[in-house]
Amino acid sequence: MYIVNSYFLAVVLCFVTMLCWGSWANTQKLAQKSWRFELFYWDYVIGILLMSVLFSFTLGSTGELGRGFLEDISQAEMSNIGSALLGGIIFNAANILIAAAIAIAGMSVAFPVGIGIALVLGVLVNYMANPQGNAMWLFAGVIVITLAIVLDAVAYKKKSAQSQKVPTKGIVLSVVGGVMMALFYRFVASSMVTNFETPEAGLLTPYTAVFIFSVGILISNFVFNTILMKKPFEGTPVTYSQYFAGSLKEHFTGILGGMIWCVGMTFSIIAAGKAGFAISYGLGQGATLVAALWGVFIWKEFKGSKGTTGLLATMFILFFVGIGMLIYAGL
């Protein structure tokens, strides 16, 4: 299987993860003009699974080191498969909440709040389980990024006060989804080998772990998203007949979103071999910055809001500084 062989390359892949995780929601924004997010989400999940299969039979099955995908999945212990599945289930519940928050409160709010919380708690959880990297710089970076999240919340409060519309439901969904999002990565990581080049028996290699994780998302979606279709956070219930009546463009948009997210997840997992799970996860969740940039400059979610420019500019600076600290922590 393909293995990352340097810290520099691991950081590059983490930046790709950041771009992917911060950009996939644009497909939801594009689709929501004519396509409810509950329907979009089915295609998004399918896209994640399809991309994980593609990686498994390409990068996960080439090279001389490690174990190939088919060999790896055939020797995996059920406890480790179960851990990766559970990671997918937890992620799916969290992501549905955050996706709903995006639809209600917008990208520049749902991502900084939800994914920001996930970043802070996720780094703590993953570092305690696998203490790799300089703790002082790692946690200093987390603190700086937390300050950036607070500034984003202040900017949004100003925006909400001016529009006289405060979508409390969107903020609550972001917070709950963020806490759950902080936990999923650790279950996937705990199912994996510690040495990618000479993998231990019974554990999963990165590509197999991502595939099993994706299966967990799909299986749980039959429960979570079916409930959401019947009892949506906003709007009237939707049906499966509406999903199958969707256009090819609508379905493709969701699948593309899922594939983009899965590229980020796969790169984050394989980068962890050199960067460590805490740093790899933390850098990937710098997606908050990417999503905020999309929300502010492309979707114009703060257009016309007075007194927010300085707050947003400071937020972006703090995010860059915090991400730099996370990178330095692994040197």
Cα–Cα nearest to 18, from 124, 135, 144, 145: 145
- pLDDT tens column, 13-25: 999 999 998 898 8
- pLDDT tens column, 284-294: 887 777 877 88
Q: With respect to residue 147, please indicate whether it lies within any of the assigned structural domains.
A: no
Q: Kindly report the backbone phi and psi dihedral angles of residue 92, in degrees, each rounded to the nearest multiple of 5, phi listed first.
A: -65, -45
How confident is the model at residue 107, as a pLDDT?
A: 60
Read off the pLDDT of each residue in 302-320 and give the average, rounded to a whole number: 84
Q: With respect to residue 316, please indicate whether it lies within any of the assigned structural domains.
A: no
Reduce the secondary structure of 175-234 to three states and give it as a string: HHHHHHHHHHHHHHHHCECCCCCCCCCCCECHHHHHHHHHHHHHHHHHHHHHHHHHCCCC
Query: Cα–Cα distances in Å, from 72 out to 21, 65, 75, 213?
Result: 27, 12, 5, 15
The whole-angstrom separation of Cα 320 and Cα 315 is 9
> Whats the size of the chain, residue-wise?
331
Structure tokens at 42: 């089915």
pLDDT-based confidence at residue 108 (cuts at 50, 70, 90) = low
How confident is the model at residue 166, as a pLDDT?
A: 47
Is the per-residue pLDDT at 239 higher than 70? Answer: yes
The whole-angstrom separation of Cα 185 and Cα 187 is 6
Is the per-residue pLDDT at 165 higher than 80? Answer: no
Tell me what percent of the residues of the chain surpass a pLDDT of 70: 94
Q: With respect to residue 312, please indicate whether it lies within any of the assigned structural domains.
A: no
Angle CA 19–287–13, to nearest 5: 45
The whole-angstrom separation of Cα 85 and Cα 211 is 9
Please list the alpha-helical segments (H only) found in 1-59.
7-23, 25-31, 37-57
How confident is the model at residue 160, as a pLDDT?
A: 62
Q: Domain range holding 239?
A: 7-136+169-297
| 8-state DSSP, 296 | I
Q: With respect to residue 102, please indicate whether it lies within any of the assigned structural domains.
A: yes
Q: With respect to residue 152, please indicate whether it lies within any of the assigned structural domains.
A: no
Q: With respect to residue 15, please indicate whether it lies within any of the assigned structural domains.
A: yes
- pLDDT tens column, 183-193: 999 999 999 99
The whole-angstrom separation of Cα 96 and Cα 93 is 5
Q: Kindly report the backbone phi and psi dihedral angles of residue 203, in degrees, each rounded to the nearest multiple of 5, phi listed first.
A: -90, 170
Reduce the secondary structure of 62-84 to three states and give it as a string: CCCCCCCHHHHHHHCCHHHHHHH
Beta bridge partners of 82: none
Is the per-residue pLDDT at 76 higher than 90? Answer: yes
Overall domain count for the chain: 1
Q: With respect to residue 11, please indicate whether it lies within any of the assigned structural domains.
A: yes
**What rounded mean pLDDT belongs to the chain?**
89
Q: With respect to residue 100, please indicate whether it lies within any of the assigned structural domains.
A: yes
Q: Are 38 and 232 in contact (CB under 8 A)?
A: yes
- The sign one gets for the Cα dihedral 27, 150, 322, 84 is negative
How confident is the model at residue 258, as a pLDDT?
A: 97
The whole-angstrom separation of Cα 238 and Cα 38 is 8
The whole-angstrom separation of Cα 53 and Cα 59 is 10
| 8-state DSSP, 130 | S
Is the per-residue pLDDT at 305 higher than 80? Answer: no
Read off the pLDDT of each residue in 28-36 and give the average, rounded to a whole number: 86
Residue type, 298: I
- The sign one gets for the Cα dihedral 271, 83, 54, 18 is negative
Structure tokens at 211: 């595939």
The whole-angstrom separation of Cα 231 and Cα 229 is 6
